[in-house]
Each structure stands twice: as structure tokens, then as C-alpha cells.
């Protein structure tokens, strides 16, 4: 009985994943394109992008993370309420991308745990939609974020 409830809860969670507006660089523009009528992330449930981390479930780190921005990303991740998921969008967020230098943190997963990595520079909006699909699948299968689980 509780298992059925859990399934329903997870289905509800996966159908309304609200991203945090964590647009950093070029990938942020493709993230904005994903909300445009052509790609329309709203049909996946991400109707609104919340600016406040307290109200968001999904942090899409879209863009290169500079040395100054690292602590800010970490603080925002800590401020998000459980359960929460992270998509590392683009090559720069996943591994430093084409910027193998002093100024860019080589992969946001050195600071925060990441659930889905999206390759590309920048990834097409289709890629980001697939990533959100994978997050939804992870939610439905119970991965890190069941309703009683800590993220």
C-alpha cells in the first residue's frame, strides 16, 4: 500500500520538476530556448523557472563556473530544499569544457553532486529536454529522491 503511494508521489514529483534559474553563460541562452514555443519545456511539467532556490527542485547548471561563482553555486545548492536534482548542462559545467585554465572550475561535480550530464557546447535544447526526461525517469524509479529519501 505504501509502495503504491510512493509510486503516485514519485509520479507527481516527476511531472512538475521546477528548475532554478541558474543560467551562467551560453548554455543559459539555450536553456531559455527550451522554454520557447519551439521546444516548450512546460509540457514536461517545468512550467516555471523559480528564481528562489527554496522553491526549486532542479538546478540546471548551464554554463561555465568561474572561480568567483563556485561558492555561490554551492550556497544555492545548499539552500535548495530536499529532494533536489542537478543537471550539469554543457561541456563547461560537466568538466571545464574547452577552458582548461586557471579561471574555470573543472566540472561543477567537484562542488555539488550531479545527476545528469549533458554534453555539447552548447547542447541543443533537445539535449536538455532529454536530460529532463532522464531526471524524471530517475525520480520515478526512486533514485536519490523518493518522498521520504534525503537527496
Partner 1 sequence: MTLSPTPLEADVVSRSDNAMVLSMGPQHPSTHGVLQIVLEIEGENVVKADPEIGYLHTGIEKTAEGLFWTQAQTVMERMDYLAPSSNALCYALAVEKLLGITDRIPERAQAIRVLAMELTRLASHCVWLGTHGIDLGAISVFFYCFDLRENILDLQEAAGGARMHPNYIRVGGVNGDAPEGFLARLDALIAKFPARMRELRGLLQANPIFQDRTIDIGILTLEEALQWSATGPTLRASGIAYDVRKAFPYSSYETYDFDVPTRTEGDAYARFLVRLDEMEQSMRIVEQARRRLDTPGPVMIDDSKVALPPKETIALSMEALIHHFKIISEGFRVPPGDVYQAIESPRGELAYYLVSNGENRPYRVRTRPPSMYNLQILKGIAPGNLIADLVVMIGSLDPVFGEVDR
Partner 2 sequence: MPSTQTPPIGGAAIDPPSLRPPIDDAAIERVAPAQLRERLEALKGEGFALLLDVGGVDYLPREPRFDVVYHLLKLKPAPASVAAVGKPMRVRLLCGVSEGEHLPSVMDLWKSADWAEREIYDLFGIVFDGHADLRRIQMPNDWEGHPLRKDYPMRGPARERAPRPNFANKSNVVAGTPPTGRTLEALQEQVKRARRP
Residues contributing to the site for partner 1 (CB under 8 A): 21-26, 28-30, 32-33, 35-38, 49, 51, 63-64, 66-72, 74-76, 98-104, 110-111, 121-122, 124
Q: Name the region of 63 (left: φ>0; alpha: ψ -120 to 50; beta: rest).
A: left
Q: Is 95 in the site for partner 2 (CB under 8 A)?
A: yes
User: Which of 1, 3, 37, 100 touches partner 2 by CB under 8 A?
Assistant: 100
Distance in angstroms (rounded) separating the CA atoms of residues 54 and 60: 15
Looking only at residues 109 through 128 of this chain, which bind partner 2 when binding is defined by CB under 8 A?
A: 109, 113-114
> CB-wise, 23 or 107, nearer to partner 2?
107
CB of 146 to partner 1, least distance (A): 28
Please choose, from the candidates 23, 54, 12, the residue with its C-alpha nearest in 3D space to the C-alpha of residue 122. 23
CB of 93 to partner 2, least distance (A): 13
Looking only at residues 30 through 89 of this chain, which bind partner 2 when binding is defined by CB under 8 A?
A: 67-68
What are φ and ψ of residue 82, in 5° steps? -70, 155
> With CB under 8 A as the contact rule, which of the stretches 1-9, 83-91, 104-112, 120-128 interacts with partner 2?
104-112
- Grouping H, G, I as helix, E, B as strand and the rest as coil, residue 3 is helix
Angle, helices 125-140 vs 2-14, to 10°: value is 170
Residue 124 site contact among partner 1, partner 2, none (CB < 5 to 8 Å, cut-off depends on kind): partner 1
Distance in angstroms (rounded) separating the CA atoms of residues 31 and 34: 5
In the chain, helix, strand, coil percent, each to 5?
40, 15, 45
> Footprint of partner 2 on this chain (CB under 8 A)?
67-68, 95, 100-103, 106-107, 109, 113-114, 134, 137-138, 141, 143
Amino acid at each position: 500500500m505504501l509502495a503504491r503511494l510512493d509510486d503516485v508521489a514519485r509520479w507527481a514529483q516527476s511531472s512538475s520538476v521546477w528548475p532554478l534559474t541558474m543560467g551562467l553563460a551560453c548554455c543559459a541562452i539555450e536553456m531559455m530556448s527550451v522554454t520557447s514555443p519551439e521546444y516548450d519545456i512546460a509540457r514536461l511539467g517545468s512550467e516555471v523557472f523559480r528564481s528562489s532556490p527554496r522553491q526549486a527542485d532542479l538546478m540546471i547548471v548551464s554554463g561555465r563556473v568561474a572561480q568567483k561563482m563556485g561558492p555561490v553555486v554551492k550556497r544555492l545548492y545548499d539552500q535548495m530544499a530536499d529532494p533536489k536534482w542537478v543537471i550539469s548542462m554543457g561541456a563547461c559545467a560537466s568538466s571545464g569544457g574547452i577552458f582548461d585554465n586557471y579561471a574555470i572550475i573543472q566540472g561543477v561535480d567537484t562542488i555539488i553532486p550531479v545527476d545528469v550530464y549533458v554534453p555539447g557546447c552548447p547542447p541543443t535544447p533537445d539535449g536538455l529536454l532529454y536530460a529532463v526526461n532522464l531526471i524524471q525517469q530517475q525520480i520515478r524509479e526512486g533514485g536519490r529522491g523518493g518522498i521520504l529519501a534525503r537527496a
